[in-house]
Amino acid sequence: MSITSTSLDSASNIKSFVSINDLRELEYQDVDLTPSQRLALKNFDRYRISELNKQTSEQQFHNKYMQLQVMANLSSFEEFLKEEYFL
């Protein structure tokens, strides 16, 4: 499977995709990322900082931080190529 493909694993019926955290791991392993993959990382990082800076209490910050961690783990990097994440 290429690092940009999405597929359905027939044995477990689990959708597999490349997440933001998968891209970070590839980057740490010195794997060349595509321009769109690098853009998704950049967009996610800007979005993350922007969202965390909006929080007005420690509890809100913690909740948003956890939500962003879930997004980085469970969303395809392609989600962060959408216009709403361009900051």
**pLDDT at residue 40 in the model:** 97
Question: What is the percentage of the chain residues whose pLDDT exceeds 70?
Answer: 83
Residue 31 lies in a domain: yes
Q: How far apart are CA 56 and CA 60, in angstroms?
A: 7
Residue 60 lies in a domain: yes
Residue 1 lies in a domain: no
Beta carbons of 83 and 45 less than 8 angstroms apart: no
Tally of structural domains, the chain: 1
Q: How far apart are CA 87 and CA 15, in angstroms?
A: 29
Q: How far apart are CA 17 and CA 5, in angstroms?
A: 7
To which residue do tokens 């929080």 refer?
55
Which residues pair with residue 19 across a beta bridge? 76
Residue 4 lies in a domain: no
Q: Which of 11-15, 27-31, 61-65 has the lowest mean pLDDT?
A: 11-15
Residue 61 lies in a domain: yes
pLDDT exceeds 80 at position 10: no
Q: Taking all residues of the chain, what is their mean pLDDT, rounded to a whole number?
A: 88
Residue 24 lies in a domain: yes
Residue 45 lies in a domain: yes
Q: Which residue has the higher pLDDT, 9 or 81?
A: 81
